[in-house]
Chains A and B, each alone.
Chain A
Amino acid sequence: MNMHMEHPELEYGKTVGNAFSADPKFSLRDVEVYYGDTQAIKGISLDIARNEVISFIGPSGCGKSTFLRCLNRMNDSIDICSVRGRLELDGRDLYDPKQDVVELRARVGMVFQKPNPFPKSIYDNVAYGPRIHGLANRKAELDEMVENSLRKAGLWNEVKDRLDRPATGLSGGQQQRLCIARTIAVSPEVVLMDEPCSALDPIATARIEELISELSENFTIIIVTHSMQQAARVSDRTAYFHLGHLVEVNETNKVFTAPEHSLTESYITGRFG
């Protein structure tokens, strides 16, 4: 008996739909993640295309955030967590011992559920990354980077007159856009977003979503969300996770009108919790 069969419709390592790409940014094969003895990710294979927006959806505990965190090795900080399989970014092994994790995280930025600005000024929050990565030589250059990032994040007009004020004084939505500005200030290639709007009101959410579609011109964006409407609005493809399996990946429109897998359908139509 296969010990991994928790559900009759789940098959280990099997995903329906359209999981592969001719020009992948990430190429992920047979990925398994363990927390101690517990297996959280069960043999997932997936390509993420260059400059696409892909949503990860699924019930709580399905492994979508764990999987997301593999992509910039955020799981490294958890002692009991081990990642297996082949994970490549632009054809290079992410988990190569020679891979510099700091450099990796500059290329693969991350925005979290709760905005987490540093207890510093607005300016310093955005300038932080370029400073530690030595991206700017002169003050004027740094100023330009800060302004560009804030503009791209759609925050510039709201904060340009108070750049020296503490970032913690901004509203939740502004803080989240500041965190996005901070992430994109180091010119990453990929932005990971872990429920970036769950603490925001609808207007702030709409701004972030608008931002996602603008950013997708230059970045690859992977977003974990509990809001199916959000996944439907912002992403090109949607991936449905269930109990550590990647059940289905398809064009977003297909997933929400005619999903192929019955578990995907049950979840998105509100048939199980």
Chain B
Amino acid sequence: MTTKQEQVYGDHISQQFNEDLSDLKSEFLRMGGLVESQLNDAVRALIDNDGHLAEKVRAGERVVDQLEMEIDEEAARIIVRRQPAARDLRLVVAVIKMVADLERVGDEAKKIAEFALSLSEEGRAPRGYVEVRYISNHVATMLHDALDAFARLDWELALRVMREDERVDEEYQAAARALLTFMMEDPRNISRCMAVMWVLRALERVGDHACNIAENVIFMVKGKDVRHTSVEEAEKLIHAKRK
């Protein structure tokens, strides 16, 4: 745990409460790290045509699910025993929500791994991997930054993640159009291009989940609910002068 985290969450009269919150955070980050590597492995399995790695991702999904349940249970236990308030409450509430997002990222990684398996049986890499590589790098960075923003309580970094999500949406649209032209060029491309399309869709969803995590980090740190707002509005909300 970083020093800033200790300053913000580690100074309760109850030492046990400090430890409970600290455990909750480190478990969350552990799950985050695991999901990150699931995603990276899934994309690598697809691009490198590596069936073995894809199988590993499929198996890893169970560990992610297990962690989700453990963290939820721990969060519920803290609520029951400590009745957290203010920043402690926001931390627990945010973790409960962010865990669901991480779990969904895990699902998307598994989906990508499954496409990797079926495509690897077909042999040669289809068109569209340039786009997959590009978008996957982008969303993997977003996810990493969102988790980093959580670890460092860095709301500015979280805001940047929200901004990136708008760009990912644009990239996804552009990639979908490119794939469409490949399909029109030669109908024999259609089935493989469709598979790539689904992969892109899964990656775009990962970006959305990273964005949700970033929004929860802002709620945690600043106490402002920036969901369902544009990045500009979110920025205004965060800077809004207190009455």
A: residues with CB less than 8 A from B are 16-18, 228-229, 232, 256-260, 264-265, 268-273
B: residues with CB less than 8 A from A are 11-14, 17, 82-90, 223-224, 242-243
Closest A residue to B89 by beta carbon equals: A257
Given contacts A228-B85, A256-B85, A257-B90, contact A269 B12 (CB under 8 A): yes
Q: Is the CB of A273 within 8 A of B89?
A: no
> Between A and B, how many residue pairs show CB distances below 8 Å?
42
> A16–B242 Cα gap in the complex (Å)?
9
Q: Is the CB of B243 within 8 A of A256?
A: no
Q: Is the CB of A256 within 8 A of B86?
A: yes
Given contacts A270-B13, A271-B13, contact A265 B243 (CB under 8 A): no
Q: Is the CB of B90 within 8 A of A271?
A: no
Residues of B within 8 A of A265 (CB): 86-87
Closest B residue to A264 by beta carbon equals: B86
Residues of B within 8 A of A232 (CB): 85
Residues of B within 8 A of A270 (CB): 12-14, 17, 82
Residues of B within 8 A of A268 (CB): 85-86
Using A256-B89, A269-B88, A270-B14 as known contacts, list a sample of 16 further A-B pairs with CB atoms less than 8 Å apart, ordered by residue number in A.
A17-B243, A18-B243, A228-B83, A228-B85, A229-B83, A257-B86, A258-B86, A258-B90, A258-B224, A259-B86, A268-B85, A268-B86, A269-B12, A269-B86, A271-B11, A272-B13
Q: Is the CB of B223 within 8 A of A258?
A: yes
Q: Is the CB of B12 within 8 A of A260?
A: no
- Distance in Å from the Cβ of B93 to the closest Cβ of chain A? 9
Residues of A within 8 A of B13 (CB): 270-273
> A18–B243 Cα gap in the complex (Å)?
8
> A17–B242 Cα gap in the complex (Å)?
8
Given contacts A257-B90, A258-B90, A258-B223, contact A269 B85 (CB under 8 A): yes
Closest A residue to B14 by beta carbon equals: A270
Residues of A within 8 A of B223 (CB): 257-258
Q: Which of B14, B89, B224 has the most C-beta atoms of chain A within 10 angstroms of its own C-beta?
A: B89
Q: Is the CB of B84 within 8 A of A269?
A: yes
A-B contact pairs, 28 of them (CB 8 A): A16-B242, A18-B243, A228-B83, A229-B83, A232-B85, A256-B89, A257-B85, A257-B86, A257-B90, A258-B86, A258-B90, A259-B86, A260-B242, A264-B86, A265-B86, A265-B87, A268-B86, A269-B84, A269-B86, A269-B87, A269-B88, A270-B12, A270-B17, A271-B11, A271-B12, A271-B13, A272-B13, A273-B13
